[in-house]
Structure 1
């Protein structure tokens, strides 16, 4: 199904029939990816005495599960600047629009000392002069192991501070990446990339131009079949009044038509 939308005086044709889901499913198995030193999610039926909320147990007409998970450590999630501020801000109040023009870029992190990092020059090269509303970063090599990787104590790649600053100064509002964090796993709480992207210098008193409506989405997985380039991004969250929510970002192929 093809749809035509108008965006900033530019007509765009979008193929809605072939969504590219770049989220990772949340399961209660050992295949679930995990970060930040926690255990796997728990999905289990409610039990009231002899009653079990599971149809296959023969004691209920419905499946009735409790789910215990952490959005930051258990899979694809979208967070707002409330993730790092003393004052409470929720992703549900921060993200009010859900469709954005996005640029998918593939980057192989560079070795600097003992760390693998994504640099400003790599981001600049990947964008190639474009100024999308969202950037989707796929790190290379892009193996299926990301779908079930245990990241704790592995020092995953991360964004250098100047790379995050360049993304902000490029006017990009939404940053999506296939890593558990844009920052170094052990960084003494500095959170340099988070702060640079959201323009937060002091977590107790926000700058007047702190980016309240900007989001970071981590632990995505972009299939190899998706080529680098421009897409329409649908960024959907659950309506949690929390700094972060599990999310389902979906990309759609598009074609730019003649400008009006």
Structure 2
């Protein structure tokens, strides 16, 4: 058991031996989730002449694989505002702290024409309970219902998944929530003519060609998580782990801890 002190100097006790991993592992099988019209990831041993970097092949003392994947398309990933800006910004430079107070909420997307949407009203209602806890919410984890395990292996391409409305993303930003996590391939509509309204609203990006001074450089969006049914709605400590990629996004491993 350890004590975490958050940015408001409030103390929380967590048990590091009881992690709740909400990431989806990356594999080179057809069970890997896919989005954005990509093929499955490639994980293959290096070959040089008749040498193969695979111990079971009998010609190498080590397993030595090349991996080809797209962080946005192939599983749990965390992105910064560099995902939508003309100028380059790196998730490795934007995300400098890794423990946050967090709220898990479950939301049933509403039907709007041919779409399923997550609204401001739904987010606002689900977060109402935080006031009684006396805890500032730094991160929000949105679990969509129904919470089918098909999310662990779904090909989302051309399926028009649910998404956040612009008002919902604006509300999350105005609630001073810095980190948005969701179990969908994007917070925006799959085919939206490049508007990216929820991304822009959350990061407060007003012009992708000339970044405004009040854009939220330190804030992140994490997509394609999976929150098991055994994880109850409520308050947690989030450990948001990324690989040190100098890129707009990185594969990531968000881990929750119950507050004791």
Q: Please, which runs of 5 or more residues in structure 2 have no aligned partner? A: 131-135
In the TM superposition, residue 5 of structure 1 has moved relative to its aligned partner by 2.5
In the TM superposition, residue 11 of structure 1 has moved relative to its aligned partner by 2.4
Deviations 1:51-92 (A, max 9, x none): 000000001000000000000000000000000000000000
Aligned twin of 2:207: 202
Greater shift in the superposed pair: 32-41 or 201-210 = 201-210
> Quick check: 1:31 aligned with 2:31?
yes
Please show how residues 69-218 of structure 1 align to structure 2 within 5 Å. Answer: 69-128=69-128, 130=130, 131-218=136-223
For the residues of structure 2 that align with 1:114 and 1:16, how far apart are their CA atoms? 43
SS at match of 1:163: helix
For the residues of structure 1 that align with 2:96 and 2:82, how far apart are their CA atoms? 15
Aligned twin of 2:254: 249
Q: Please, which runs of 5 or more residues in structure 1 have no aligned partner? A: 256-260
| TM-score normalised by length of structure 2 | 0.96
Greater shift in the superposed pair: 149-158 or 122-131 = 122-131
For the residues of structure 2 that align with 1:11 and 1:89, how far apart are their CA atoms? 32
Deviations 1:103-145 (A, max 9, x none): 0000010001110000000000111163400000000000111
Aligned twin of 2:133: none
SS at match of 2:74: coil
> Quick check: 1:222 aligned with 2:227?
yes
Change (3 A) 1:60 1:208: same
For the residues of structure 1 that align with 2:121 and 2:181, how far apart are their CA atoms? 18
In the TM superposition, residue 208 of structure 1 has moved relative to its aligned partner by 1.0
Please show how residues 44-55 of structure 1 align to structure 2 within 5 Å. Answer: 44-55=44-55
Change (3 A) 1:218 1:109: same
Q: CA RMSD in A?
A: 0.8
SS at match of 1:123: helix
In the TM superposition, residue 6 of structure 1 has moved relative to its aligned partner by 2.8
In the TM superposition, residue 3 of structure 1 has moved relative to its aligned partner by 1.4
SS at match of 1:93: helix
In the TM superposition, residue 9 of structure 1 has moved relative to its aligned partner by 4.1
In the TM superposition, residue 15 of structure 1 has moved relative to its aligned partner by 1.8
SS at match of 2:254: strand
In the TM superposition, residue 207 of structure 1 has moved relative to its aligned partner by 1.2
Q: How many residues align?
A: 254
In the TM superposition, residue 246 of structure 1 has moved relative to its aligned partner by 0.1
For the residues of structure 2 that align with 1:3 and 1:201, how far apart are their CA atoms? 41
